[in-house]
Amino acid sequence: MGEEAYRVVIMGCAGSGVSTLANYLGETLTGVEIREITVDIEAPCKPVQADAIVYVSAAYPREEDLRAVRGLREEGRGGRGKPRLLVALGRADLLEWTPGSPRAVSADAARPHADSAGLALTIGVVPVSALLARASRLLTMSDMESLRRIASLRADQGCARLDEVWWYSAGLFMERAISIERSQRERLLGLLDLPGIGLAVGALRDSPEMTLDEMGELMREASGIAVIDTWVRDSLWDAAAARAGEARISLERRIVQEMAAGRGRAAAGIRLLRRSALLGVPWAAERLAAGAITRSSVLEWAAVARREAASARTSHQAHAALARYRHLLAVAENLMTDGDAA
Ligand SMILES: Nc1nc2c(ncn2[C@@H]2O[C@H](COP(=O)(O)OP(=O)(O)OP(=O)(O)O)[C@@H](O)[C@H]2O)c(=O)[nH]1
Ligand SMILES: [Mg+2]
């Protein structure tokens, strides 16, 4: 098939949370190249080749952030094959966090910060905590055990507040949270940071029966990552649809040439055209769902795409969803001819 890999670029100034988001995407997307770019304070950014770019901004965008986002948008005006851009406000869990109010730990709570960053950058900004998004997948039973142990400390005394002195710094947590092993203190800080630990402990004090899956769900919800997940997948679908369109055009050209060379070769050409339905979806259809790809699963995805097109809020979204719909119908037709693919 000779397809180039799909590429998602994560960009931002040093320390803004680029690697954590890139790691999350690397762990959740297969068959996609994830590339990190650190914005140089001195030099202007070079053009970026990607199917999608997530720019990670600081809460108070710096001159470098403004320059980089402006540059990416100007590049995006360059017509065909333009990369799409989403701006995220990274490390959102830290923004509204105070030790006594664990409930405020969520990307949603950081929305006003994202809005004011968006005003400075003149583009919509999505608050996200890539750390909590990763944690939602990486937490283990023994992490839950440690969190339960911390939660049970004050709950035993009938006091479900989070005013222990260790909530004030990672150093204090390392020094004072001695009800769990030192290595576990270190692991929890790396995995959740203090706001995330506070959120988990608060949740366990409210619901001691909470399961690991439920904790993962809570972290995912608090992380605000769903917006980025959906946006990146939509961008990759758009890229897949665009590549399928291009592949189809070049195949049609070949078929015309073959037909001109003799009718006997036309049938082979038609087979090639049918196969072209699959050319543009090496990433999407095969990897979106676990398990076998059958005609009925492809038709189900097509129905979802059609519904998305009908409820799209922008013409771009509607166009992308329709492209997916047509594409999946073509894939289903191919499966009908060749039998269900395993
Ligand atoms: N609380 C919290 N910490 C985060 C989050 N994302 C990253 N961090 C922490 O912030 C620090 C920097 O994060 P990185 O993801 O390494 O950021 P980066 O932009 O790649 O940084 P450099 O490669 O050093 O320029 C690390 O200590 C991360 O654990 C987040 O969403 N929440
Ligand atoms: Mg990094």
Ligand 1 site residues, Cβ closer than 6 angstroms = 12, 14-20, 38, 90-91, 93-94, 129-131, 193
Same domain (yes/no): 257, 167: no
Of 93, 203, 193, 215, the C-alpha closest to 142 is 215
Task: Give the CA angle between residues 81, 84, 88 to the nearest 5°.
Answer: 165
> Residue 1 falls within a domain, yes or no?
no
Which residues surround the ion ligand 2 when the cut-off is CB under 5 Å? 19
Same domain (yes/no): 93, 195: no
Report pLDDT for 280. Answer: 47
Q: What residue's CA is closest to ligand 1, atom 10? A: 17
> Residue 62 falls within a domain, yes or no?
yes
- Of the ranges 125-134, 283-292, 313-322, which one carries the lowest mean pLDDT score? 283-292
Choose one of 128, 152, 186: the last residue of a domain: 128
Mean pLDDT computed over 334-340: 60
Amino acid of residue 295: R
Choose one of 128, 150, 165: the last residue of a domain: 128
Six-digit token pair at 162?
């989070």
What's the mean pLDDT when you consider all of the chain? 82
Report pLDDT for 271. Answer: 65
Of 7, 15, 149, the C-alpha closest to 83 is 7
Same domain (yes/no): 177, 97: no
Same domain (yes/no): 201, 107: no
Q: Please, are residues 53 and 74 in contact by the beta-carbon 8 Å criterion? A: no
Six-digit token pair at 206?
């409210």
CA–centroid distance, 55 to ligand 2, in Å, is 13
> Residue 58 falls within a domain, yes or no?
yes
Same domain (yes/no): 122, 218: no
Report pLDDT for 210. Answer: 94
288: CB partners within 8 A, 6+ apart: 233, 301
Choose one of 99, 128, 157: the last residue of a domain: 128
191: CB partners within 8 A, 6+ apart: 131, 134, 135, 138, 139, 143
Ligand nearest to the Cα of 23, by number = 1
> Residue 72 falls within a domain, yes or no?
yes
35-75: per-residue pLDDT in tens?
A: 999 998 887 778 898 999 999 999 999 999 999 999 999 88
> Residue 172 falls within a domain, yes or no?
yes
Same domain (yes/no): 29, 46: yes
CA–centroid distance, 234 to ligand 2, in Å, is 25
Number of domains observed in the structure of the chain: 3
228-259: per-residue pLDDT in tens?
A: 998 998 888 778 777 766 666 676 677 677 77
Of 92-106, 275-289, 307-321, highest mean pLDDT: 92-106
Q: Which of 91, 98, 126, 173 to mutate to test the pocket of ligand 1 (most atoms within 8 A of CB)?
A: 91
CA–centroid distance, 85 to ligand 2, in Å, is 19
Same domain (yes/no): 172, 239: no
Q: What residue's CA is closest to ligand 1, atom 24? A: 15
Same domain (yes/no): 263, 208: no
> Residue 307 falls within a domain, yes or no?
yes
CA–centroid distance, 21 to ligand 1, in Å, is 8
Q: What residue's CA is closest to ligand 1, atom 6? A: 17
Residue 201 belongs to domain spanning = 137-223
Same domain (yes/no): 216, 233: no
Q: Please, are residues 173 and 197 in contact by the beta-carbon 8 Å criterion? A: yes
Q: Please, are residues 311 and 270 in contact by the beta-carbon 8 Å criterion? A: no
CA distances in angstroms from 98 to 47, 54, 163, listed in the order given = 40, 28, 10
Integer Cα distance of 207 and 203 in angstroms: 6
Same domain (yes/no): 188, 233: no
Same domain (yes/no): 144, 193: yes
Ligand nearest to the Cα of 193, by number = 1
pTM above 0.85, yes or no: no
Same domain (yes/no): 24, 109: yes
155-177: per-residue pLDDT in tens?
A: 445 444 555 778 888 999 999 88
Paired strand residues for 300: none
Mean pLDDT computed over 221-229: 95
> Residue 315 falls within a domain, yes or no?
yes
> Residue 192 falls within a domain, yes or no?
yes
Task: Return the DSSP state at 51.
Answer: S
Q: Which of 54, 131, 167, 189 to mutate to test the pocket of ligand 1 (most atoms within 8 A of CB)?
A: 131
Integer Cα distance of 234 and 76 in angstroms: 17
Q: What residue's CA is closest to ligand 1, atom 21? A: 15
With a pLDDT cut of 70, the percent of the chain lying above it is: 77
